[in-house]
Amino acid sequence: MTSTETDADIAEYALVNKRRVIQFITLIIQHCLQHDEADIAEYALVNKRRVIQFVWQWCSTIGDAFWEDKTTQAFLGVRYDTIRYDTRC
C-alpha cells in the first residue's frame, strides 16, 4: 500500500480480504462434508498403508538398530495398539 492511502482504505482492504478468507473456508467445509463414509474409510486405509510402508523401509534401512532403539519400540507399540483397536471395530 502506498503512503497516500487512508485508514479507511486500509480498513476496506482488510474487510475485503477477510470476506475472501471466510468464503474460502466455507468452500473447504462444504467440500469436506460432501465425502461419504466410504471415502473417509478409503482415505484412512491409504494412510495406514503409508505408515506400514514407512516402517518397513525404516526397518530395512537401519537393520538391527531398529529393534534395539527404545523410541522405535515405543512408536511400534503405539502403532500395534492402534491396529489392534482398529481390528475390533
pTM as predicted: 0.48
Of 2 and 44, which is predicted with more confidence?
44
**Rounded CA separation 24/17 (Å):** 10
pLDDT at 5 over 80: no
Mean pLDDT of 2-20: 73
C-beta of residue 40 within 8 angstroms of C-beta of residue 64: no
Report phi then psi at 69, rounded to 5: -75, 130
CA distance 38 to 35: 8
CA distance 34 to 28: 10
| 15 has pLDDT over 80 | no
| CA–CA gap between residue 78 and residue 39 (Å, rounded) | 25
Residue keyed to cell 491409504:
46
Decide which of 4 and 35 is more confident: 35
